[in-house]
Amino acid sequence: MSNVKSYIENNKNKFLNELIELLKIPSISADSAYKKDVLLTADFVLESLKKAGCDNVEMCETPGYPIIYGEKIINPDLPTVLVYGHYDVQPADPIELWTSPPFEPVIKKTEIHPEGAIFARGACDDKGQMYMHVKALEYMTSTGNLPCNVKFMIEGEEEVGSESLAWFVPRNKEKLANDVILISDTGMIANDIPSITTGLRGLSYVEVEVTGPNRDLHSGLYGGAVANPINVLTKMIASLHDENNHITIPGFYDNVEELSTEERAEMAKAPFSLENYKKALNIDAVDGEKGYSTNERNSIRPTLDVNGIWGGYTGEGAKTVIASKAYAKISMRLVPNQDWKEITELFKNHFESIAPKSVKVVVKPHHGGQGYVTPIDNIAYQAASKAYETTFGKTPIPQRSGGSIPIVALFEQELKSKTILMGFGLDSDAIHSPNEHFGVFNYLKGIETIPYFYKYFTELSKKK
């Protein structure tokens, strides 16, 4: 693998230009107006896997968007790595806050990325990170450095809950059989502080609808005498946290795993500056559950957040009205052991029970999934750790993330294999936000590090 650095140096511009082409296609899975583009992106991924040396590349049809599968089996006695990623992206809005158009990728320098970063929706989540694997494979196949078997499974519905993948996986267990699943769809601490994600939170996502009077009312004629659904909804939402920011839903914390003092002390060793954190977000104070640090609040503790709230008049000027209905979208991030279906049920029962008689409440569950913790005492983690050591010159720090990739728990259930999360994004890369970007350094470093994972995983598998 000694030539991986020079291979990347020689192909750097090609690698960047190809990713830029991929980023130009607006593959927004949430919005059916982009269906054609999502399908075009699937074609792009399919072709790129063929060019990278994959065999049996196919567009696997599902009830939703297709899953791209490809493989390179060099010897059935060798281990098999299954790479997962997603080619769909989040919607780009609010579009007016982008400094350059979301689907016209440009490379710009930033304070954190002095070598430049590619600005585009999906640059980091997940097209850039998924494409690192395609290019790492291209390097390995074209230079005779592929040490084991590899399978690729790239989906187009991750950002909307991976429904079709959950349909596909149990139906294709043999095809997808593997020794380890490798995913780059998370982050690391900083470009000089590599880390490996060892946990993902689960998720329960619900929408609530509060209905008051059967029509919108004049807020003078009726105001004060009839329940205002927006007032009621905001009061109900406010009651979901107590003065210590604990969630008030009965039973919510029942299965939450409490970390030991030692585990928390270990976590607290990870480099973190609260001052820089606040500065980067332009806030004067952080906020969260009493008794826990910022890093604990955003990884090992469950949360409840309103993601959107609407109703009534929000247009220009003023309209005096009491709306008939008010709505909110609420997400709960869950920790391992909390069952997302159970939590959804608890939320529904509680939210309905706290509704005053003056309104009607409907809770609609959206999607969800289980959290995940990756073990660090197995060869997959050791191989990943050695890979980062080789290319970063530093041992990576294991760190639990607050984000969710619900399909990972399903992989373990259906395919009986562990997942290793080698993410190369940074929290400041603004995924799901305007001005999402991915460092050129991170992109190339990912392509460099991935082949070493294959090498060490194969070597460590032989020793077993």
Among 26, 79, 147, 161, binds ligand BES (CB under 6 A): 161
161 binds, among Mn ion, ligand BES, none (CB under 5 to 8 A by kind): ligand BES
Q: Does 186 bind ligand BES (CB under 6 A)?
A: yes
* Residues 184, 162: Cα–Cα separation, whole Å: 16
- Residue 227: name the closest of 214, 240, 239, 238 by CA: 214
3-state DSSP assignment of residue 4:
helix
Q: What is the DSSP letter of 220?
A: T
Q: Cβ of residue 38: shortest distance to Mn ion, in angstroms?
A: 15
Tally of CB atoms within 10 A around 99: 9
Q: Does 159 bind ligand BES (CB under 6 A)?
A: yes
3-state DSSP assignment of residue 190:
strand
* Residues 131, 442: Cα–Cα separation, whole Å: 12
Among 184, 195, 401, 442, binds ligand BES (CB under 6 A): 401
- Hey, what amino acid is at 128? G
Q: Which two tokens stand for residue 449?
A: 């590090």
Q: Does 88 bind ligand BES (CB under 6 A)?
A: no
Tally of CB atoms within 10 A around 33: 9
Among 267, 332, 405, 420, binds ligand BES (CB under 6 A): 405
Among 53, 187, 336, 371, binds ligand BES (CB under 6 A): 187
CB closer to ligand BES, 237 vs 421: 421
* Beta bridge partner(s), residue 120: none
Tally of CB atoms within 10 A around 341: 12
* Residues 412, 350: Cα–Cα separation, whole Å: 31
Q: Cβ of residue 247: shortest distance to ligand BES, in angstroms?
A: 18
Residue position matching structure tokens 């008030």: 248
Binding mask 118-137 for Mn ion (x = CB under 5 A): -------xx-----------
- The pairing of strands 325-334 and 202-211 is antiparallel
Q: Does 70 bind ligand BES (CB under 6 A)?
A: no
Among 71, 158, 179, 436, binds ligand BES (CB under 6 A): 158
Q: Does 406 bind ligand BES (CB under 6 A)?
A: yes
CB closer to ligand BES, 166 vs 405: 405
379 binds, among ligand BES, Mn ion, none (CB under 5 to 8 A by kind): none
Handedness of CA 152, 156, 159, 164 (dihedral sign): negative
3-state DSSP assignment of residue 70:
strand
* Residues 219, 216: Cα–Cα separation, whole Å: 9
403 binds, among Mn ion, ligand BES, none (CB under 5 to 8 A by kind): ligand BES
Q: Does 379 bind ligand BES (CB under 6 A)?
A: no
* Beta bridge partner(s), residue 80: 149
Among 18, 37, 71, 126, binds ligand BES (CB under 6 A): 126
Q: Does 128 bind ligand BES (CB under 6 A)?
A: no
Q: Does 155 bind Mn ion (CB under 5 A)?
A: no
Q: What is the largest CA-CA distance in the chain?
A: 80
CB closer to ligand BES, 140 vs 304: 304
* Beta bridge partner(s), residue 60: 67
Q: Cβ of residue 90: shortest distance to Mn ion, in angstroms?
A: 6
Q: Does 448 bind Mn ion (CB under 5 A)?
A: no
* Residues 387, 393: Cα–Cα separation, whole Å: 9
Q: Cβ of residue 394: shortest distance to Mn ion, in angstroms?
A: 25
Query: % helix / strand / coil in the chain, to the nearest 5?
Result: 35, 25, 40
The site that binds Mn ion (CB under 5 A) totals a number of residues, namely 3
Contact 83, 155 (CB under 8 A): no
Q: Does 198 bind ligand BES (CB under 6 A)?
A: no
Q: Does 404 bind ligand BES (CB under 6 A)?
A: yes
Binding mask 169-188 for Mn ion (x = CB under 5 A): ----------------x---
Q: Does 155 bind ligand BES (CB under 6 A)?
A: no
Q: Does 429 bind Mn ion (CB under 5 A)?
A: no
Binding site for ligand BES (CB under 6 A): 125-126, 158-159, 161, 185-187, 200, 203, 401, 403-406
